[in-house]
Amino acid sequence: MEKLTIELCPETGICSLVKDNGTKVDLMPDEVEAIRAAGSDANQIRSVIANCDADFAQALDLQALKQVATDVA
């Protein structure tokens, strides 16, 4: 599993997901809310991330998606 660094800005609500290799995707506040609403539904979380970057989302394994669900909630 590739570890993600998840940075959530409390002022703007923007969330950055950063892989170990430096690639990242930035999620807008409405996308962060969509991830929160998805709960632990990995497919829904992947779908939200895919709206920003399909390749990034496709490369995430189940553990990474669970990490996103936990850390963004």
- 11-46 per-position pLDDT tens digit: 999 999 999 889 999 999 999 999 999 999 999 999
pTM assigned to the model: 0.90
Query: Is the separation of the CB atoms in 36 and 53 below 8 Å?
Result: no
Measured in Å, how far apart are the chain's first and last C-alpha atoms?
21
Q: Give the Cα separation of 38 and 45 in Å (integer).
A: 6
What lies within 8 Å, CB to CB, of 57 at 6+ separation is 25, 46, 47, 49, 50
- The three-class DSSP label of residue 25 is strand
Mean pLDDT of the chain: 93
